[in-house]
Amino acid sequence: MLRETRDQGRSAGIAGPLLLGALIVLSSCGPTPRRSDATTTRPIDPGIFVEYTKVLDAYIKALLLLGSDNPADRAEAKRKLDALGFAYFAEDRMFLEKLRTGTPDDMEVARRELARRGRMLDLILVFTRPYAQATWDHARRELLAIGEGGPEFLTISLLKILLNGQFRPVWSHIRFQLVEIGTVARETTAALAKERADATPETPIWKQEDLVQLLLVLISFGAEGRPAVAELAKHRVWNVRKAVARAVGEAVDPALAEILVGYLKGDPEWQVKAAAAEAIGRLRPARRTLGPVLVERMKAERDRFVLHAILRAIGEIRYLDAIPDLMNAIQVPNYDTAQVAMEALYFLTGKRLTTVPQWQRWYRDEYPAWIKEQRP
């Protein structure tokens, strides 16, 4: 089993954004099949990053050199490793000691294992560099085939990259790589998502992005990932349910629309209901099913914030059958509600009308012919 060491270099400056993300991954993500270790993160002092990355880079190069067929290269690698006095994985020190003082057989076993670990570290760094599909796919395949600890190391490292806001531009690519890993990644993601969900506070302000990204990974697994999402959808903490609603909307997955409908109809928290309405607004492919639900809730909803989210969702999914009901909604006494209803009518019709009388004239004079044109 591979575990990372807690050794770190001395302070020598501040790393750049991409390097920062890379070191967070490599310094806080030890590969391990034990799910309890999957979320362990130790504090990183930014002041040590530049020196640490120099040492780590030299360490990886020395380990790779151990894999050379040239005896001179191997001897040079041993000298460099002795000079560095560094170990990344906790067990590396044991292998380094065997490399120095073991029997010939022990030395050969240690050399091969250290070279393999160097290759693992070198490959994982690929995912901290600018995205290139062929390069990323090759690194993934190599790590999956590299032997003990490879799939776990890849999974944990990719999850940590995913949870690092500095890698936002490649989040979708990271999710794809995780899905390609298969069962190990799905089960680890589900365990990590549950742990994050259980630690979620019931406060208006909280960091929901991590949980949303983990949910998006599970959703990306399709039918295999849905049971874990469905389980989290029933979580007692309303912020978790809100995150589920957001993730379903961002994934644009009609297969999970029933979760949103359940929230909209019966969740006790208005923020969850509003998030569900907003998510439904993204599910345009399912508008024939979801449109009537929105109209039903529009007529029954008493919370103004939820009602406004429902009205916007009707416009965003372009549910044309709701136009007569929206015409009633623009006549309510509440100015804000009437404005949102007119906004929904604009999304549905493309008509830039700004007052209730203008919409009433359009509905009376032009709507009958207009709606026929929309339904040939």
* Residue 219 falls inside a structural domain: no
Number of domains in the chain: 2
* Residue 195 falls inside a structural domain: no
Residues 38 and 164 in one domain: yes
Domain hosting 46: range is 17-178
Residues 25 and 173 in one domain: yes
Residues 173 and 292 in one domain: no
* Residue 329 falls inside a structural domain: yes
Pick from 160, 178, 196: which residue ends a domain? 178
pLDDT of residue 20: 37
Q: Do the Cβ atoms of 65 and 73 come closer than 8 Å?
A: yes
Residues 33 and 172 in one domain: yes
- Look up residue 321 and give its DSSP letter: G
Q: Do the Cβ atoms of 218 and 179 come closer than 8 Å?
A: no
* Residue 354 falls inside a structural domain: yes
Residues 49 and 168 in one domain: yes
pLDDT of residue 104: 95
Average per-residue pLDDT for the chain: 88
* Residue 355 falls inside a structural domain: yes
* Residue 22 falls inside a structural domain: yes
Measured in degrees and rounded to the nearest 5, phi and psi for residue 354 equal: -120, -5
Tokens 């490879």, located at residue: 150
Read off the pLDDT of each residue in 361-365 and give the average, rounded to a whole number: 97
State pLDDT tens for residues 232-242: 999 999 999 99
More confident residue, 15 or 281: 281
State pLDDT tens for residues 189-213: 999 999 999 999 999 888 899 999 9
* Residue 51 falls inside a structural domain: yes
pLDDT of residue 2: 65
The residues near 28 (Cβ < 8 Å, ≥ 6 apart) are 40, 41, 42, 44, 160
State pLDDT tens for residues 115-140: 999 999 999 999 989 999 999 999 99
pLDDT of residue 46: 52
* Residue 274 falls inside a structural domain: no
Pick from 121, 151, 178: which residue ends a domain? 178
Residues 23 and 172 in one domain: yes
State pLDDT tens for residues 285-307: 999 999 999 999 999 999 999 99
* DSSP per-residue codes, 149-206: THHHHHHHHHHHHHT-GGGGGGHHHHHHHHHHH-HHHHHHHHHHHHHHHHT--SSSS-
Tokens 């993204």, located at residue: 282
Pick from 178, 199, 225: which residue ends a domain? 178
Residue 42 has pLDDT above 80, yes or no: no
Read off the pLDDT of each residue in 296-323 and give the average, rounded to a whole number: 97
- CA gap 316, 333 in Å, rounded: 24
The residues near 136 (Cβ < 8 Å, ≥ 6 apart) are 126, 127, 173, 177
Nearest to 233 by CA among 247, 222, 223, 220: 247
Residues 29 and 173 in one domain: yes
